[in-house]
Structure 1
Amino acid sequence: MSTRRCSLWPAGAVVVAAMAALLIGEMPARAQDTSAMKKQMLGQWELSTAERSKTCVVTLKNDSTAQGFRLELEPTCAAALPFTKEIAAWSIKGLDIVRLQDAAGQSVIDLTEVESGILEGLRSGEGIYILQNLIAARSLAKSMDQMIGDWSMVRGNGQSICGLTLTNNEATPDNFQLFLKPRCDPAVAGFAPTMWRLERGALLLMAANGAVWRFEADDNAQWRRTPDTVDPLILLRQ
């Protein structure tokens, strides 16, 4: 005589229990991830427009508030970035979102990591803002100062095809003026760049029509146009 074993739990309850077990198993890992990110974020950061034309120093602290953790903004922040007047605290949402929030806990801006030590967030109608380690940001500012001056654009064989001058004169809120010298190669003259900026370690030359040439520093402290070609263009300091 055969016997049938009866489950004490309905099938649906088994599924729910399994899902609950998975969630419980994930909770310690998520808590660890959040704790690690919080520790990584403590300290001084620079909040800025995408190209650092307007900046604000933010100090993220470990002290708890009603809605998150305490922070301090430099007195000049409100003038540089008016929306920072609303920021009262910071918190971590999910696994990788750093939220700068108002006193009620509502987001003023949410930022996510795009590179090590660099977070990016969007404010509707305003554009992209960058949060990065203050020391790294100031190093970038120094790098920008070092870019100002005369440069020569050469081909891979060393033939000079154009001279140009990078200035620190603001062309738009995020870009600086660039001037070509006379007798440039037609390819460069046709491109006709008028502005430049540094963006995440790359040098961008921009034309009035929106065209962009991107250069990256190579091992020889030269700037090579990317993507690379069999006949590369290289920028050399004059």
Structure 2
Amino acid sequence: MRVLRVGASVIAACVAAIGIAHAQDTSTLKKDMPGQWELSTTERSKTCVVTLKADAAGQGYKLELEPACKTALPFTKDIVAWSVRGLDIVRLQDATGEAVIDFTEVEAGIFEGLRQGEGVYILQDLAAARSMAKSMDQMIGDWSMVRGNGQPVCGLTLTNTESSPDNFQVFLKPRCDAAIAQFNPTQWRLERGQIILMSKSGDVWQFEADDNAQWRRVPDTADPLIMLRQ
């Protein structure tokens, strides 16, 4: 019986600790979220500025949507407040408190939410989002693909011409290496700091910036493929 009593006290202590952690996580989110955020499709082809406030409003907290939101993202017409649910969910909700879309943090200051039948949306600090947009603008233009030894193997042009939602046209130049010509990317996007190239068949190549301001295909190999801005 004594063992059972000790076990019960340990369980009670654990439950209390979990409750404190839960309260701290919820409190931190409630404190950190007020401010201006950008709600967007994954690659910012459609964007909307949301101002989250700390003032209570019904079952949540007040927010403001810029007038263009309802045109850019029609589902936002139902959003009237925001709240924090569970440990880490930021909810944009309707007048009854039901979720219009729930977001969870995937990186510092970047939240993802899914709407069934529509896809993934991003909630991101407005200043950081606009910085990313500037970065994407800097990607537009001519690039060269080279091997690790510096040997050029292909030229390509990234454009800002939308080819499908959130993706943009890319064109290969003549006389590319056979492997790249076979891959034949037709679309690109900038996603979480990576250049994503996509072929008609659905194949995907990912490139990440390295310490030398080059973009290396990942995962890395003994014979790396590198993108250089021309």
**TM-score of the superposed pair, with normalisation by structure 2:** 0.94
> CA separation in 1, counterparts of 2:149 and 2:13?
64
Report 1:1-238 matches (<5 A): 22-238=14-230
Post-superposition offset of 1:30: 2.1
- What one-letter code is carried by the residue in structure 2 that aligns with 1:94? G
Q: Residue type of the partner of 2:15?
A: L
In structure 1, C-alpha distance between the alignment counterparts of 2:17 and 2:176, rounded to whole Å = 64
Q: Which stretch of the first structure deviates more once superposed, 19-28 or 59-68?
A: 19-28
TM-score normalised by length of structure 1: 0.91
Using the TM superposition, give the Cα deviation of residue 26 of structure 1 relative to its aligned residue in structure 2, in angstroms: 3.5
Aligned-pair CA distance for 1:37: 1.3
Q: Which amino acid aligns with 2:210?
A: D
Q: d(CA) in 2 for partners of 1:199 and 1:63?
A: 33
AA partner of residue 131 (structure 1) = L
Per the alignment, in what secondary structure is the counterpart of residue 87 of structure 2? coil
CA distance in 1, matches of 2:97, 2:28: 22
> What letter is aligned with 1:202?
Q
Q: Name the SS for the 2:176 alignment partner.
A: coil
| Aligned positions, number | 229
Q: Name the amino acid aligned to 2:208.
A: E
Task: Using the TM superposition, give the Cα deviation of residue 28 of structure 1 relative to its aligned residue in structure 2, in angstroms.
Answer: 3.2
SS of residue matched to 2:52: strand
What is the Cα deviation at residue 64 of structure 1? 0.4
Q: Which amino acid aligns with 1:105?
A: G
Q: What is the CA deviation profile of residues 180-223 of structure 1, one whole-angstrom value per residue up to 9, with x for unaligned ones? A: 11111111100000111000000001101100110000001110
Please state how far the C-alpha of 1:15 moved relative to its aligned partner. 7.9
Structure 1 residues 180, 61: closer, same or farther in 2, change over 3 A? same
Structure 1 position 38, deviation (Å) = 1.4
Aligned amino acid, residue 53 of structure 2: K
What secondary structure does 1:229 align onto? coil
| Separation of aligned partners in 1, 2:59 and 2:8 | 32
Distance across 2 between alignment mates of 1:96 and 1:60: 16
Structure exhibiting the larger radius of gyration computed from Cα positions: 1
Deviation at 1:140, TM superposition (A): 0.6
Query: Which stretches in structure 2 are left out of the alignment for 5+ residues?
Result: none
Alpha-carbon separation, structure 2, partners of 1:205 and 1:98: 31
Offset at residue 33 of structure 1 (A): 1.8
The amino acid that maps onto 1:104 is T
Instruction: After TM superposition, give the deviation of residue 29 of structure 1 in Å.
Output: 3.1
